[in-house]
Amino acid sequence: MTEHAVVIAGGGPTGLMLAAELALAGVDVAIVERRASQELVGSRAGGLHSRTIEVLDQRGIADRFLSEGQTAQVARFAGTRLDISDFPTRHNYGLGLWQNHIERILAGWVGELAVPIFHGIEVNGFAQDDTGVDVALSNGRSLRAQYLVGCDGGRSLIRKAAGIAFPGSDPTTSNLIAEVEMAETPEWGIHHSAFGVHSFGRKEYQIVDGKIVYADRGPVGVLVTEQHVGPATEPTLAISARLSSPHAGRTTGSIAPSGSPGSPMQRGRPRPTARDGC
């Protein structure tokens, strides 16, 4: 049985960052990630806020992110735009950079630090004893560690198996997020209706004089507030009708999921604020 001081379940942003921090501190750490590679279906979060860039700068890797993204004033509080350009920091801005790129760059750094990432393997469970934990893997093998850390997302198997509660109130808002191809050009940007916020923006864009200029073609990121809180299940293609319905604002013509297989539509509850808030 292979041993590590720490095994991290999940190689998303949290697991990658923790692994790098532990490796820098001289701790023997390994990641188990169920995805076959670091590739993400969909682009997820849209960037980094100032404080995150500062932390990455403390580790000497901020430039890797800055060189691939676009800086802008993105900070908001309750919908109010905050200009932080006079803040006493080297990074008085946010960075527009999709999460799939953020993860790729983080994984590259983790690789340089020689942290093993076991891709395509799931943590199925664990058994704890007085000296550590046996981590059961989907390939029938197991790992031995002093600590197992659950960085396996919001529906964490590790958290549930450890009996750690996830207290909170029921959601009051439900949003659908999708990457689609659209037959007609919608009105770009963030809109508000009686049902809440909705927005359209092409995934590819440039920031020119502090403003977003969308590419002429390519997939469109869509966000719609649902009229009612929906079930916490994967949305289906039937949802495309709702995306083009009046409560999404203008009727926008037919919508088809874009790009890769494994539909990039997602249901999010509750929803972070609008896309330009990273």
Ligand X SMILES: Cc1cc2nc3c(=O)[nH]c(=O)nc-3n(C[C@H](O)[C@H](O)[C@H](O)COP(=O)(O)OP(=O)(O)OC[C@H]3O[C@@H](n4cnc5c(N)ncnc54)[C@H](O)[C@@H]3O)c2cc1C
> Under the rule (CB under 6 A), what is the footprint of ligand X?
9-15, 32-35, 42, 44-46, 99, 122-123, 151-153, 157, 177, 266, 268, 272, 275, 278
Task: Please state the closest distance from residue 262 (CB atom) to ligand X, in A.
Answer: 12
The radius of gyration computed from the CA coordinates of the chain, to the nearest angstrom, equals: 21
Task: Please state the closest distance from residue 124 (CB atom) to ligand X, in A.
Answer: 7
Smaller CB separation from ligand X, 173 or 266: 266
Smaller CB separation from ligand X, 64 or 159: 159
Task: Please state the closest distance from residue 199 (CB atom) to ligand X, in A.
Answer: 11
**DSSP helix, strand, coil percent of the chain (3-state; round to 5):** 20, 30, 50
Smaller CB separation from ligand X, 199 or 244: 199
Question: At residue 230, what is the residue type?
Answer: G
The full 3-state SS of 216-243, as one line of letters, equals CCCCEEEEEECCCCCCCCCCCCCHHHHH
Smaller CB separation from ligand X, 198 or 275: 275
Secondary structure class of 105 (helix, strand, coil): helix
Sign of the C-alpha dihedral computed for residues 229, 230, 233 and 236 taken in this order: negative
Dig out the tokens for 193 from the structure: 């209706």
In whole angstroms, what is the distance from residue 146 CA to residue 227 CA? Answer: 47
Task: Please state the closest distance from residue 25 (CB atom) to ligand X, in A.
Answer: 19
CB 239 within 8 A of CB 223: no
Task: Please state the closest distance from residue 159 (CB atom) to ligand X, in A.
Answer: 10
CB 18 within 8 A of CB 151: yes
Smaller CB separation from ligand X, 88 or 154: 154
Q: Which residue is nearest to ligand X (CB)?
A: 12
